[in-house]
Structure 1
Amino acid sequence: MAGRRRALIVANGEYDNAGLQRLGSPAADADALAEVLSDRAISDFEVQVVRNETAHVVQAEIEDLCAEGRSDDVLLMHFSCHGLKDDSGGLYFAARNTRPDRLRSTAVPAQFVQQCLRQSRSRSVVLLLDCCYGGAFGQGVAVRASGDANVLDSFRGGRGRAVITASNSIEYAFEGARLAEGEPAQPSVFTSALVEGLRTGEADRDEDGWIALGELYEYLFDRVRERNPKQTPSRDIEMQGELYLAKSRRRRIKPSPIPPDLAGAIAAENQFTRLGAVAELRRRLSSDNLPVAMGAFEALKVMAATDIQHVAAAASDALGVAVVRVDTSSVRLSADSGEVASASLRVSGPPVAREVRFEASHAWIRVTEVSGGAELSVTAGESGTRQGKVVVTGPTGDVVVAVEIEAVPEPAPEPVVAAEPEAEPVVTDPEPVAVAEPEPELGKSTPQPASTAGARAGAVDPVGGFAGVTAIAGAVFAVIGLGLYYRYGEYKLAEYRPGMEFYAGIVAACALLAGILTLAPRTRSRTGPALLLGVGLAALFGLLRFLGEAVTLSDGSGTELNAGFTFELLAHLAWVVAGACAPAALRRSHALGIGRVRDRPAWVAIVLGVTIAVGWLLQLGELGAYDSGDAGRAAAYFVLGALLAVAVPVVAMVLRPRPVGCAVLGMGTAGLLGVLAPTAAAALDHSSVTVAGLTIAASGVLLLAIDTVVLAVRRNQPNGRQS
């Protein structure tokens, strides 16, 4: 049985002590590294991130990781923080509450980390240290024991251990380029190279489809030294055999030998025989068997370079079939400052020509490989135009796609001229003042051609836009339906199904808000779709309830469901469709993942969901004991509500990032609040029935709403932990 792959990322950049300089990189390091390590197509680690926590919390997470490790598990720890030394030369990692004069009680000792590593049963533990040692403090705080800080010495000993540091004993670990105020923090030089090597597969030096630990170090060494010659990564690896940390698409295709009869035709004296060989090689070049295709490619290259002109021309023409082709040679985008624009690159040709990889020239160009090509996410700068490129490389060649994004300036506010007070109260007819219309900027009035993939990144994502419009349309349908007759020509929803109007109204309000936020520029990438996903879950209750109504009443007895029913059914169907589109919109903006339920508030939410479900089922049981007929008619309320109560927190708590899960939980909890109304109406219709189960459910919904707030606040605090 294969072991688990677990990673712990410790990112401490905020410090209570004024003497410790704030670091911008750890937060960016944590985000970038957690994303690539948790990517199932690359590393497939279970990732836990500890942000800006105190020393005892960090130590507890380290000990948990090591103590729970099994012999066949792969454990990885990454530290991004200050590294400190005490008077005796002992190494410590700075935590949020660290005091340079009280390291033993306020920092994380390297000795403690070493002890945890030695006591772990795992035979494959990797420790990555992106820390700066000394010289990283504010003015007025002396660097203690500033001599040689040989970091690797603190972790020597033990088998199955590997330590890679961002710098050697006398150097600093450099953060990303110094940032202008307001710009997002960038990963450090070391971690950005680490992420880049794993994500692009460039660290796969032998191109065997796997990134081994040794290959990764060699890649880090070269890239870090290339970007900053003053920083030298170091390593101490004590492992038997290779440890593969990630998969790679850099797979070298070994050409298959040409069959003897075809090789004979290639070497034949008769040029027409050789032309026939070119035709056969061209056919093999389009094979799904990549080694066969590469064998044909290599043979055609030789013929194109060495044969007579007539045959060489035919070989060159055949080679043209397999060159790397991208659907556009340039991508031009525009977006508001700091916003992200999206574009797609599609490759074409035979299978061997589509076996490519993509490499961006700058960190602001993010490339996500997908089937048939890649998706680009390009971030606009503060002003002006950014220019870069994406190199598309395959076994048959490469092509460069130019990438350009212009930061659209915000319109300057019109100057407000204060009117001077009149010297005398004389009434005059002032001449009209002509205000010149601002001339349009050059090029702004002409729309960009669709072929450039250059819609502004403020443009609404098609999936998200459809979901937002659908949700708003559903809210309109629901409101209209509440005012129309539901059944026969005399009953509206509030009269025929008491309490359902309250539920429909709550979900309609939530859907309207979510739809608007999905279309709004600042919330369309994550907040809006996340809320829509919660609305879709909440609307499942009503959709199933109304569909059940249609089935049970369509018995040919002449009963009529009127326009009010139709509008409510359409409204709930629209909300469920919008909710189903929300995950796709989140994935397109790279804002959706799956993780494990680990912290207490998340488990509390799930337990509360189960409690709500139990309360409703208890109420249904009591109602059934009193009047089985009424219980049968009301069973749909209680059973569907119970299922929704369990599904909402479970789905929400496994979604990553956590703000997405909190948004889903918030909308789902609002839906559960609406479900209380029809269930209460069914129970309170009988004076002899207690409402004990309903009280449990109502209390659970209230506590779940409070827990949702706790989760949201916890995840937005700068010192909170994220997983």
Structure 2
Amino acid sequence: MSALPDPGASRAVLVGTSRYHHLEQLPAVANNLHALAALLRGPLLLQLPDQHVTVLEEPETAHAVVGAVRRAAGEATDTLILYFAGHGLVDDQDELSLGLPQSEAGCIETALPYNWLRQALLRDSRAERHVVILDCCYSGRALGRMSGETGLADHAVVEGSFLLAAAAETRTASAPVGSTYTAFTGALLETLREGIPGGPALLELGAVYRHLRVTLEARGRPVPQARDRNSGAGLALGRNHAYLPAVPAAAAAPRDVGGGAGERLWPDPGAIRTGTGFVTALAQVRVVSGLTQQAVSVRSGGRISASTVSRLLNRDTLPARWQTTGVYLATCGVPDEQVTRWRAVWERLRTETASAEPAVGRPVRAEPGKRTLRERAFPLARRGRGH
């Protein structure tokens, strides 16, 4: 079953090396990083909060990369996305390493062993799902050639993940000279932005992989590889923008949720874990409905205004009251049984938020004979200003 990650419980680490001291330069990699980060943060895809997307451009040490992955792995409870673009190196044992600015061909100790990242994911990750995307080459040529002996995906697969990798066989260059992006990431960005005509409602990783194979092969580029562990192919990176319904829910039959062209895949409230995810999913409901904010207001019979809808979908925290949310969902055409599930999630998150909030306004009492933190920091506070 396809699922969208909860942005509040997910993290992404994007790593790229475009400038090398000893290997050929890959200038398109820098563009890869910034474009993918913007998509992951933006409304077209997951809408990850800015602080949930870590971009490491030209990392000088393996420690910096592993540390960032370990931190994200410890924070994410839903989905962790790891992306690397740059040169790839393979040692005599056919182990994959990722190129850093100081990396040298034939000197594998100057690169980052991929196994270090794999171990960090396996040992330190709290995330239920992992997405690993590798756009790298094995040789030191500017546009890169891949080794045909062992597939990149075979080196990099992680349990409980979906691995999507640029082609490993010896083929033509991985990116045309002067291109804005590398061939693989360029096609990936295009797919995420424009969608897959005739594809599923959500951009499931399995469908993205199949579309990339067809697209890149038609362009004469290396064909990507993929590995799926524990049904990772059903994880989605966003909605398929080539699939959006042409007929708004308001014009369709009441509660039109299935069958033919009118089928609508509403966000699953069961996948929501955080307040951020709740609000993001609310916004997705309007997109799936095909209604504008003004149309939602009109269809509600004036119970909620367009400005109220806007405030509901652009807030940073969980809605304080259920009534407006319930009217909004019903007006958009969400089935009654799903609205009930939405309310259960809202109540759960409301309880969790309340229990997590620290007591406000309560004086902090020190144990007998002990000074409070303020008294230790300001020893004259209790005696006035030195008098």
TM-score (structure 1 length as normaliser): 0.32
Does residue 161 of the first structure (1) align with residue 131 of the second (2)?
Answer: no
Give the alignment of 1:538-553 within 5 angstroms: none
Match of residue 178 from structure 1: 177
Residue 216 (structure 2) aligned to one of 217, 224, 229: 224
Q: Which has the higher contact order (CA 8 A, sep 6+)?
A: 2
Match of residue 153 from structure 2: 152
Take 1:95 and 1:371, find their aligned partners in 2: how far apart are those partners?
47
Does residue 214 of the first structure (1) align with residue 201 of the second (2)?
Answer: no
Length, aligned pairs only:
261
- Amino acid in the other structure paired with 2:180: Q
**TM-fit CA distance, 1:64:** 2.6
**TM-fit CA distance, 1:58:** 2.0
Report SS of the residue matched to 1:219: helix
Does residue 23 of the first structure (1) align with residue 26 of the second (2)?
Answer: yes
- Amino acid in the other structure paired with 2:177: R
Take 1:108 and 1:203, find their aligned partners in 2: how far apart are those partners?
38
Which of the pair has more CA radius of gyration? 1
**TM-fit CA distance, 1:196:** 1.8
Report SS of the residue matched to 1:53: coil
- Amino acid in the other structure paired with 1:231: P
Take 1:137 and 1:186, find their aligned partners in 2: how far apart are those partners?
14
**TM-fit CA distance, 1:221:** 1.6
- Amino acid in the other structure paired with 1:243: L
**TM-fit CA distance, 1:38:** 0.9
**Deviation digits for residues 5-46 of structure 1 (CA, Å, limit 9, x no counterpart):** 2111111011122xx000011101011111101114521232
Give the unaligned 5+ runs of structure 2: 261-288, 295-377
> Please, what is the CA RMSD of the aligned residues?
4.0
**TM-fit CA distance, 1:83:** 0.8
Confirm or deny: 8 A CA contact 1:133 1:171 kept in the other structure.
Answer: no
Does residue 60 of the first structure (1) align with residue 67 of the second (2)?
Answer: yes
Give the unaligned 5+ runs of structure 1: 180-184, 256-285, 299-353, 357-369, 373-617, 627-688, 690-723
**Deviation digits for residues 412-432 of structure 1 (CA, Å, limit 9, x no counterpart):** xxxxxxxxxxxxxxxxxxxxx
**TM-fit CA distance, 1:157:** 5.5
Does residue 121 of the first structure (1) align with residue 126 of the second (2)?
Answer: yes
**TM-fit CA distance, 1:252:** 5.3
**Deviation digits for residues 417-458 of structure 1 (CA, Å, limit 9, x no counterpart):** xxxxxxxxxxxxxxxxxxxxxxxxxxxxxxxxxxxxxxxxxx
Take 1:151 and 1:287, find their aligned partners in 2: how far apart are those partners?
44
Take 1:289 and 1:101, find their aligned partners in 2: how far apart are those partners?
64
Match of residue 55 from structure 2: 49
Residue 229 (structure 2) aligned to one of 238, 249, 253: 238
**TM-fit CA distance, 1:251:** 4.1
Counting aligned pairs with the same residue, the percent is 24
Does residue 8 of the first structure (1) align with residue 7 of the second (2)?
Answer: no
Match of residue 191 from structure 1: 185
Report SS of the residue matched to 1:130: strand
Take 1:287 and 1:147, find their aligned partners in 2: how far apart are those partners?
50
**TM-fit CA distance, 1:156:** 3.7
**TM-fit CA distance, 1:123:** 2.3
- Amino acid in the other structure paired with 1:189: A
- Amino acid in the other structure paired with 2:163: V
Confirm or deny: 8 A CA contact 2:87 2:140 kept in the other structure.
Answer: no
**TM-fit CA distance, 1:170:** 3.1
Confirm or deny: 8 A CA contact 2:183 2:221 kept in the other structure.
Answer: no
Match of residue 195 from structure 2: 201
**TM-fit CA distance, 1:289:** 2.3
TM-score (structure 2 length as normaliser): 0.58
**Deviation digits for residues 320-370 of structure 1 (CA, Å, limit 9, x no counterpart):** xxxxxxxxxxxxxxxxxxxxxxxxxxxxxxxxxx969xxxxxxxxxxxxx9
Take 1:97 and 1:135, find their aligned partners in 2: how far apart are those partners?
12
Match of residue 652 from structure 1: none
Take 1:243 and 1:146, find their aligned partners in 2: how far apart are those partners?
29
Change (3 A) 1:190 1:249: same
Take 2:293 and 2:251, find their aligned partners in 1: how far apart are those partners?
18
The structure richer in strand per residue is 1
The structure richer in helix per residue is 1
Take 1:165 and 1:173, find their aligned partners in 2: how far apart are those partners?
15
Confirm or deny: 8 A CA contact 2:82 2:133 kept in the other structure.
Answer: yes
Confirm or deny: 8 A CA contact 1:197 1:216 kept in the other structure.
Answer: yes
Match of residue 298 from structure 2: none
Take 1:194 and 1:58, find their aligned partners in 2: how far apart are those partners?
23
Report SS of the residue matched to 2:193: helix
Report SS of the residue matched to 2:89: strand
Change (3 A) 1:288 1:137: closer
Report SS of the residue matched to 2:217: helix
Confirm or deny: 8 A CA contact 2:169 2:222 kept in the other structure.
Answer: no
